[in-house]
């Protein structure tokens, strides 16, 4: 049988990160490639207590079908929480609970983008979202990420050159993969440009609660008085990625289309997971839990940067971070980055090649991404020491 695939998927390639996970399964390999939370970060006791209570008192409520929009108490509590702590969302918005933030990218692209229309992305950007946009045959247009976020000069040039752009995709806080945080000035400018050119913004913020230093900055969505911004939030990095609970705050007209698209996708998000997230948000000290996570990751991030300074300078340079789970590392221009990453794997260390995060993966790239949240301190030191030795040899 000869299989003929749709145009949408015929040119798609497997995620580079998921492919690297195959090597990382080797217990001898130090994986600096994943974006998993630290094993110490999971509120296992609270999740157990909540689940036992639900299944003891009202099990059918989480075993039966539920509504597409999401568990109503969770939606209401998230509206209150996001307004109170982040000034995000207003009366013209509604909130949809999704199966992970990846589904938000899929639903937005399905609802808003026709084949060949443009999605403007940061370069580099999150590979999962890029592959989602590609799966709908969107044309990806990259905008350089500078030390304080996406270049606004370049963004305006790309908006002028692409009048069929449907939305700007941005990760403004501790961007994956670069670790960069967009400045307040650029956040405001991005919103102004979106209004000027009539383009939506899809603001992806999975790491915003994981700030280790510096001041909190307002979400782009907090400026939204014109229905220009779709906000994506997630419990994956702050409760559990395996539970697959995320949420989008979107203008009501867009929200309604996202609901219809979700009905054709998975009907509704896992209701048990939604109930657990709701009770953890409302009946436990959620802000204390976030501070616990910051304490864990502050220590790990600082340790990782100390190791990079100790073992890798000056052959590997990196961008210091104020939060999130990733550090973007740069090799000298004469070094073949893909060859370096392959050699690292052969030496039992996994990192993610930087070109995997580009809108055009064939572009020359001398960078790679590492993650510090998952490995133990011993593994982190072992892995970074090997990277330093390889870079020195090259």
pLDDT tens track for 214-228: 999 999 999 999 999
Contact 122, 155 (CB under 8 A): no
Structure tokens, 246: 């995320």
Contact 152, 186 (CB under 8 A): yes
pLDDT given at position 394 = 77
Q: What separation, in Å, do the N-terminal and C-terminal C-alpha atoms of the chain show? A: 47
Beta strands 326-330; 317-318: pairing state: antiparallel
pLDDT given at position 190 = 98
pLDDT given at position 384 = 97
- CATH 3.40.640.10 domain position(s) in the chain: 58-283
Report the percent of the chain where pLDDT is more than 90: 88
Burial class (CB in 10 A: 0-12, 13-18, 19+), 170: buried
76: Cβ contacts below 8 Å, ≥ 6 apart: none
- Name the CATH topology of 7-43+288-393: 3.90.1150
Closest by Cα among 220, 182, 219 to 200: 220
CB neighbourhood size of 62 (10 A)? 18
Residues 132-166: b if buried by 16+ CB within 10 A, e if exposed? bbbbbbbbbbbbebbeebbbbebbbebbeebeebb
pLDDT given at position 347 = 94
**Residue 97 Rama label (left phi>0; alpha psi -120 to 50; beta):** beta
Average pLDDT, the chain: 94
What's the chain's length in residues?
394
pLDDT given at position 256 = 97
- Predicted TM-score (pTM) of this structure: 0.94
Q: Helix, strand, or coil here: 192?
A: helix
Beta strands in 280-363 (DSSP E): 317-318, 326-330, 349-350, 352-353
Burial class (CB in 10 A: 0-12, 13-18, 19+), 108: buried
- CATH 3.90.1150.10 domain position(s) in the chain: 7-43+288-393
CA–CA distance, 358 with 284 (Å, rounded to integer): 40
Contact 65, 268 (CB under 8 A): yes
383: Cβ contacts below 8 Å, ≥ 6 apart: 30, 32, 349, 375
Give just the sign of the alpha carbon dihedral 377, 302, 231, 145. negative
Pick the CATH number of 58-283 from 3.40.109.10, 3.40.640.10, 2.60.120.380, 3.40.1360.10: 3.40.640.10
Residues of the chain with pLDDT under 70: 10-25
């Amino acid at each position: 049988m000869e299989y003929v695939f749709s145009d949408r998927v015929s040119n798609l390639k497997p995620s580079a990160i998921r492919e690297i996970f195959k090597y990382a399964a080797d217990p001898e390999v130090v994986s600096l490639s994943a974006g998993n939370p630290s094993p110490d970060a999971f509120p296992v006791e609270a999740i157990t207590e909540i689940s036992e209570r639900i299944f003891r008192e009202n099990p059918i409520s989480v075993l039966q079908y539920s509504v597409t929009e999401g568990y109503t108490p969770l939606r209401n509590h998230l509206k209150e929480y996001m307004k109170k702590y982040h000034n995000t969302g207003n009366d013209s918005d509604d909130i949809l609970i999704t199966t992970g933030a990846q589904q938000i990218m899929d639903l937005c692209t399905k609802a808003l983008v026709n084949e060949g229309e443009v999605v403007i992305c940061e370069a580099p950007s999150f590979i999962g979202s890029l592959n989602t946009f590609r799966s709908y045959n969107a044309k990806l247009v990259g905008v350089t990420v500078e030390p304080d976020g996406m270049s606004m000069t370049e963004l305006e040039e790309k908006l002028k050159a692409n009048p069929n752009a449907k939305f700007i995709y941005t990760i403004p806080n501790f961007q994956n993969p670069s670790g960069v945080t967009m400045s307040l000035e650029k956040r405001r400018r991005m919103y102004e440009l979106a209004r000027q050119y009539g383009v939506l913004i899809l603001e992806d913020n999975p790491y915003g609660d994981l700030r280790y230093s510096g001041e909190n900055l307002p979400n782009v969505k907090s400026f939204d008085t014109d229905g220009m911004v779709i906000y994506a939030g997630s419990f994956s990095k702050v409760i559990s990625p395996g539970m697959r609970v995320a949420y989008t705050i979107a203008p009501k007209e867009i929200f309604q289309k996202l609901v219809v698209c979700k009905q054709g996708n998975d009907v509704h998000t896992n209701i048990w997971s939604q109930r657990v997230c709701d009770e953890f948000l409302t009946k436990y000290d959620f802000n204390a839990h976030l501070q616990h996570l910051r304490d864990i990751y502050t220590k790990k991030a600082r340790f990782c940067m100390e190791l990079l300074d100790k073992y890798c300078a000056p052959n590997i340079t990196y961008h210091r971070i104020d939060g999130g789970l990733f550090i973007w590392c740069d090799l000298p221009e004469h070094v073949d980055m893909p060859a370096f990453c392959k050699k690292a794997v052969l030496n039992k260390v996994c990192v993610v090649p930087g070109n995997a995060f580009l809108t055009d993966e064939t572009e020359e790239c001398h960078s790679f991404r590492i993650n510090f949240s998952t490995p133990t301190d011993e593994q982190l030191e072992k892995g970074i020491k090997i990277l330093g030795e390889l870079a020195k040899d090259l």
